[in-house]
């Protein structure tokens, strides 16, 4: 076979259905080269495209990525506004390709604090990709696991007050149904790049039984090969969900 037609790698057996990624290390990646932090965020955004494209080959159906946390507002005003304009830029640059490549895009997190233009672009991208089903890409912007649960409980309380919800019927499934992620399966694998071994408020409820991969690679260096190797390691693990080995 000619070099111009590389073989497409086969899906990994026992591949996780849903992979969630804490994309960390952009700032350190840039600083190591004497560049501003935003340079790292731009390089990180390019990686997103490569990983989304790799999903169908690897066999991953749902990909959820952490782009901006409810705590990231603590950063300098210039970093925050640079990130917000990067999100707008990413959506307008990628819109066509995502629609064409069958990617269904959803956003999770509290949108009300985001600027109106960005919110409108997010709504538009969700609408334009709503019939796609090759890969389900969920982008977490102004997302915090605690904030998500608090918003869900507030909405439940309103439904109880208005008589729509019987408070004695509330169980785990009820709360799951009020979360931003209500239409998504729980993540099977959560990957965090950059060597930090913490969750930083990501998918707290949903990752109760997820497997974790904490890897040293900084997000802008996270290639599709690194992604494949994380997924392969997951495939070799035994999940028991509190039970015993069959």
Give the footprint of ligand IPE on residues 103-132 (CB under 6 A).
Answer: none
Query: Is 69 among the residues that bind ligand IPE (CB under 6 A)?
Result: yes
The partner residues of 136 in beta bridges, in order of sequence, read 62, 104
| Residue 66, token pair as written in the block | 């952490």
| Contacted entry of Mg ion, ligand IPE, none for residue 66, CB cut-off 5 to 8 Å set by kind | ligand IPE
| Cα three-residue angle 50-56-61, rounded to 5 degrees | 105
Question: Which residue, judged by CB position, is nearest to ligand IPE in the bound state?
Answer: 27
**Is residue 27 at the binding interface for ligand IPE, with CB under 6 A as the rule?**
yes
Which one of 57, 72, 110, 147 is the catalytic residue?
72
Euclidean distance between CA atoms 86 and 34, whole angstroms? 20
Provide CB contacts within 8 A for 224, sequence distance 6+: 50, 51, 53, 54, 57, 58
Binding mask 123-142 for Mg ion (x = CB under 5 A): --------------------
Contact 103, 52 (CB under 8 A): yes
Establish if 24 lies at the interface with Mg ion (CB under 5 A).
Answer: yes
Least distance (Å) between residue 67 CB and Mg ion: 12
Rg (alpha carbons) of the chain, rounded to whole number? 19
Which window, 24-32, 120-128, 141-149, 164-172, contacts Mg ion (CB under 5 A)?
24-32
217 binds ligand IPE, rule: CB under 6 A:
no
Q: CA 95, CA 120: separation in Å to the nearest integer?
A: 13
Tokens of 218: 């900084």
Quick one: 23 or 191, whose CB is closer to ligand IPE? 23
Distance CA 135, CA 138 (A): 10
* 159 part of the active site: no
225 is catalytic: no
23 near ligand IPE (CB under 6 A)? yes
Q: Which residues bind Mg ion (CB under 5 A)?
A: 24
Q: Which residues bind ligand IPE (CB under 6 A)?
A: 22-28, 66-69, 72, 83, 194, 196, 198, 200
């Amino acid at each position: 076979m000619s070099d111009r037609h590389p073989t497409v790698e086969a899906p990994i057996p026992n591949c996780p259905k849903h992979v969630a990624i804490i994309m960390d290390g952009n700032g350190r990646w840039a600083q190591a080269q004497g560049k501003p932090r935003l340079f790292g965020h731009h390089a990180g955004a390019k990686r997103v495209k490569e990983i989304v494209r790799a999903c169908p080959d690897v066999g991953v159906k749902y990909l959820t990525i952490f782009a901006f946390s409810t705590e990231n507002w603590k950063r300098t005003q210039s970093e925050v506004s640079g990130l917000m304009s990067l999100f707008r830029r990413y959506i307008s640059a990628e819109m066509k390709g995502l629609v064409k490549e069958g990617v269904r895009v959803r956003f999770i997190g509290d949108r009300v604090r985001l600027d109106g233009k960005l919110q409108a672009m997010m709504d538009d991208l969700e609408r334009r990709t709503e019939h796609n089903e090759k890969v389900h890409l969920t982008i977490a912007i102004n997302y915090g696991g605690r904030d998500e649960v608090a918003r869900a409980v507030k909405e439940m309380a309103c439904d109880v007050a208005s008589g729509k919800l019987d408070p004695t019927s509330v169980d785990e499934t009820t709360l799951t149904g009020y979360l931003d992620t209500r239409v998504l399966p729980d993540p099977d694998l959560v990957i965090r790049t950059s060597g930090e071994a913490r969750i930083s408020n990501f998918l707290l409820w949903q990752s109760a039984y997820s497997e974790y991969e904490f890897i040293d690679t900084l997000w802008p260096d996270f290639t599709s090969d690194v992604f494949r190797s994380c997924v392969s390691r997951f495939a070799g693990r035994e999940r028991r969900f509190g039970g015993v080995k069959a």
